Amino acid sequence: MQAEKLETFKDQKMYLTSEKKKEIFKDYGKSEFDTGSPEGQVSLFTFRIKHLTEHLKQNKKDLSTRRSLVLLVGKRRKLLDYLKKKDIERYRAIIKKLGIRK
């Protein structure tokens, strides 16, 4: 029984690899190593939010994932509010580039 569970766990692929993170930061940040910029973090959060949303469409009763999604949306909102307060042009650019409504 344990071996079967371990095998199914090994077959699952990670949806967010380090290569994917670098690609996201390269596309939306200043460079692939610029992990601290608000634009990079917002884009990473958006990627994770889209993935969790798709997961919840199939698994409607997964409450722990739903809670994680709500927390992640709140984090993204706070970062966007910060960016809006500091530099409205960067805020508008990232909203447009990611296709987030607001």
Domains of the chain: 16-98 (1.10.287.10)
Checking if the pLDDT of 101 tops 90, the result is no
Residue 12's φ and ψ, nearest 5 degrees, are -75, 140
- Going by pLDDT thresholds of 50, 70 and 90, the confidence category of residue 59 is very high
Q: In this prediction, what percent of the chain has a pLDDT beyond 90?
A: 70
Which tokens belong to 95?
């909203």
How far is residue 9 from each of residues 3, 12, 13, 14, 48, measured CA to CA in Å? 10, 5, 9, 10, 20
The answer to whether residue 99 scores a pLDDT higher than 80 is yes
The pTM (predicted TM-score) of the whole model is 0.83
Please check the confidence at residue 57 and state whether its pLDDT lies above 70: yes
Backbone angles phi, psi at 82, to 5 degrees: -60, -45
User: Binning pLDDT at 50, 70 and 90, where does residue 34 land?
Assistant: confident
